[in-house]
Amino acid sequence: MCGIIGYVGSPTSDNTLEILTDGLSRLEYRGYDSTGVAISNSSLDVYKRRGELTELEDVLPDQSTNGSAGIGHTRWSTHGPPTDENAHPHTDCNETVAVVHNGIIENYQQLRETLEADGHEFDSETDTEIIPHLIEAALERDGDIERAFRYAITMLEGSYAVAAVFSGRDEVYAARNQSPLVVGIGDDGYFLASDIPAFLDYTEDVVYLENGQFAAIRSDSIQISDERGAPVETPVETVDWSTEDTGKSGHERYMLKEIYEQPRALRKCLQGRLRESDGSVSIEAVEDMEKPKQIHVVACGTSYHASLYAARLFRDRGVPSTAFMASEYDVDTIPIDTETLVVGVTQSGETADTLEALREANRVGAETLSVTNVTGSSASRETDRVVYIRAGPEIGVAATKTFAAQLVALAMISITLTNDSAATFVEALRTLPELVQSVLDRSRAKEIATEYADSDAYFFIGRGYNAPAALEGALKTKEITYKHAEGFSAGELKHGPLALVTDKTPVFAVIPRDGNFEKMVGNVKEVEAREAPVIAVTDAAEAVEPLADHVLRIPQTDRRLAPILANVQLQLVSYWIANELGRSIDKPRNLAKSVTVK
Ligand code: M6R
């Protein structure tokens, strides 16, 4: 999805352009199809291009010829195709103001018609372009920049994070509603971004803007105000992500780096939360909660698979629980009351569908909890409670380490909420990072992936706790290989999907030795009889070897944690197939890291 960077340095600074382009490169992972920057000096210099950031860099002037205030944008097309004209920033007729915007303005058509009737000329098909023209119209009436910006924002309906820079002014104006914006406080200037990694090279001190807030950023100050213009005191927070976390650390791609970071991510997730003395768990955010009457878990994509896992865990521990795709969560038709806990699982904390589901839950008075990776994200601020999964920044579009950390955090939440003894589970959680490391050290996924890279399709099966792992294995594979991949609860195979199984469709079976082992053996035989190559992901290699073409081993652990180990193998399989096929693994086509539109 779109990304915003803004910067105001001291009047003599000569690195604004460098900071903006560096910020844009840090935002690339979110997904985009055009980029642009605007710098204020005696006039307003705007550069924008469809395509990769390198296309923009080709047309930028010498880095040292810029002014001290500027904004930049990576656009992921919604209104109008990816063209130079539709790329942000957009300007007014006289080029006095340049604007970048994330989100969707729902009433733009009507505003555009009014502005056109008043003589404003538009250059693009975007909803965003109405904003500079609204500002221009207000400036013509009043002449005050801040009031003009505020007026334009109050005219908008929909979701937005907006930043504007004016000709001849060393300042950036910003506002947000339902789309994230964070201010970075540096030694030599102030930053603005939709996402912290954009300026993490320069500062870790941040101020999160809330919905309805405005910011005026100058080289030596920020002023944050509410909708009515009253100043707002905002706490400065220090993020615990480092630039090392956002680099590739010697790996060819972020996704591979993040797969290999899982032991560390899990250690951080567990740190200080396991009480080995009495074999209990303490997740501070939920410690004082009564066992809920029922739990709804809402999420999208990979996080939805984590939610399926969580709902099973909660049910296993005696709490009626259901996972919902956030986009299908409808409080008018689903039984929900004030004794319901609604858990939103979202790595980014900014997924529009998940936020909407949580807002609906808040509206009807349910208790809400977010499980997220991003401190200060919208989900974290809009729920009653928040549990951080502490996986560190995830740059690859495909979720990997955050999925593992979500499962672990949800496992700890389930133990804390139900307050039943769970000593063996806790002990298994404690050793999990080492077990993940051993899978990474010994995996044969690369050679198996290479052997099956030209298959027609891939199927993934599992039962019980491993059914979400099968779904996740398939999602990862389709996302980064662009090949057909489906995950099934193994029992469902013979109710339709078996018709698709051939000798050209490898089947990955997650088959640890648990209560479902014999049934899984039956399912493996079903696909074997259709000549499908079988790759078993198992902790019972000796028993499974005679049935499978290949075995991807996982160590034995608590049955509830096997899917985390199996998933590491499946992540590696999808990665190496995609690598063999030469795909754009970190930024798969058509996808964005953070899906901030419904
Ligand atoms: O940030 P979230 O966890 O809310 O994101 C939800 C999905 O968009 C996300 O998990 C998506 O499915 C991943 N790209 C899958 O790898």
pLDDT, one tens digit per residue, over 33-87 is 899 999 998 889 999 999 999 999 999 987 656 788 999 999 988 888 889 999 9
| 18-38: average pLDDT | 90
* Residue to mutate (ligand 1; options 348, 378, 477, 482; most atoms within 8 A of CB): 348
Q: Whose structure tokens read 């707002």?
A: 232
Shortest-distance atom of ligand 1 to CA 594: 1
Cβ 406 under 6 angstroms from ligand 1: no
What is the chain's Cα-based Rg? 25
CA–CA dist 512, 515 (Å, integer): 9
Shortest-distance atom of ligand 1 to CA 592: 14
- Per mean pLDDT, which range of 384-393, 418-427, 555-564, 577-586 is the poorest? 418-427
Q: Is the pLDDT of residue 245 over 80?
A: no
Q: How far is the centre of ligand 1, averaged over its atoms, from the C-alpha of 340 (Å)?
A: 25
Annotated catalytic residue 593: yes
| Tokens matching residue 511 | 């088959």
| 303-324: average pLDDT | 97
CA–CA dist 7, 374 (Å, integer): 22
In this structure, the residue with its CA closest to atom 14 of ligand 1 is 398
Q: Is the pLDDT of residue 103 over 90?
A: no
Q: Which helix (H) or strand (E) holds 18?
A: helix 16-27
Q: How far is the centre of ligand 1, averaged over its atoms, from the C-alpha of 141 (Å)?
A: 45
Mean pLDDT, the chain, rounded, equals: 93
Percent of the chain with pLDDT over 90: 80
How far CA 203 is from CA of 191, 207, 582, in Å, comes to: 9, 11, 35
- Per mean pLDDT, which range of 159-173, 198-212, 230-244, 248-262 is the poorest? 230-244
Q: Give all domains of the chain, ordered by start, each with its CATH number.
A: 3-238 (3.60.20.10), 241-441 (3.40.50.10490), 443-584 (3.40.50.10490)
Are 565 and 463 in contact by the 8 Å Cβ rule? The answer is no
Q: How far is the centre of ligand 1, averaged over its atoms, from the C-alpha of 16 (Å)?
A: 32
Cβ 346 under 6 angstroms from ligand 1: yes
What sections of 119-192 are H helices per DSSP? 130-141, 145-154
How far CA 419 is from CA of 271, 286, 288, 432, 468, in Å, comes to: 19, 11, 11, 21, 25
Three-class HEC string of 27-96: HHHHCCCEEEEEEECCCEEEEEEECCHHHHHHHCCCHHHCCCEEEEEEECCCCCCCCCCCCCCEECCCCC
Length of the chain as a residue count: 598
CA–CA dist 447, 131 (Å, integer): 53
| 562-587: average pLDDT | 97
User: How confident is residue 194, by pLDDT bands cut at 50, 70 and 90?
Assistant: very high
Cβ 586 under 6 angstroms from ligand 1: no
Cβ 480 under 6 angstroms from ligand 1: no
- pLDDT for res 598: 74
Are 207 and 234 in contact by the 8 Å Cβ rule? The answer is yes
Are 315 and 269 in contact by the 8 Å Cβ rule? The answer is no
List the beta strands (DSSP E) in 107-181: 158-166, 171-177
- Per mean pLDDT, which range of 67-76, 417-426, 496-505 is the poorest? 417-426
CA proximity to 270, closest of 412, 399, 373, 386: 412
pTM recorded for the entire structure: 0.81
CA–CA dist 234, 239 (Å, integer): 15
CA dihedral 184, 185, 189, 190 (to 10 degrees): 40
Q: How far is the centre of ligand 1, averaged over its atoms, from the C-alpha of 310 (Å)?
A: 16
CA–CA dist 507, 486 (Å, integer): 10
In this structure, the residue with its CA closest to atom 4 of ligand 1 is 346
Q: How far is the centre of ligand 1, averaged over its atoms, from the C-alpha of 227 (Å)?
A: 32
Catalytic residue among 257, 268, 401, 593: 593
Shortest-distance atom of ligand 1 to CA 397: 14
Are 1 and 595 in contact by the 8 Å Cβ rule? The answer is yes
Backbone angles phi, psi at 402, to 5 degrees: -70, -30
| 414-431: average pLDDT | 88
- pLDDT for res 232: 93
CA–CA dist 208, 174 (Å, integer): 12
| 248-272: average pLDDT | 93
- pLDDT for res 219: 87
Shortest-distance atom of ligand 1 to CA 591: 14
CA–CA dist 4, 89 (Å, integer): 10
| 507-517: average pLDDT | 97
Cβ 399 under 6 angstroms from ligand 1: yes
Q: How far is the centre of ligand 1, averaged over its atoms, from the C-alpha of 594 (Å)?
A: 7
- pLDDT for res 243: 66
- pLDDT for res 63: 64
Q: Whose structure tokens read 């395509």?
A: 51
CA–CA dist 415, 283 (Å, integer): 9
Cβ 567 under 6 angstroms from ligand 1: no
Cβ 358 under 6 angstroms from ligand 1: no
Q: How far is the centre of ligand 1, averaged over its atoms, from the C-alpha of 397 (Å)?
A: 8
Shortest-distance atom of ligand 1 to CA 372: 3
Cβ 302 under 6 angstroms from ligand 1: yes
CA–CA dist 417, 40 (Å, integer): 53
Q: Is the pLDDT of residue 244 over 70?
A: no
* Residue to mutate (ligand 1; options 307, 351, 479, 481; most atoms within 8 A of CB): 351
Q: Is the pLDDT of residue 17 over 80?
A: yes
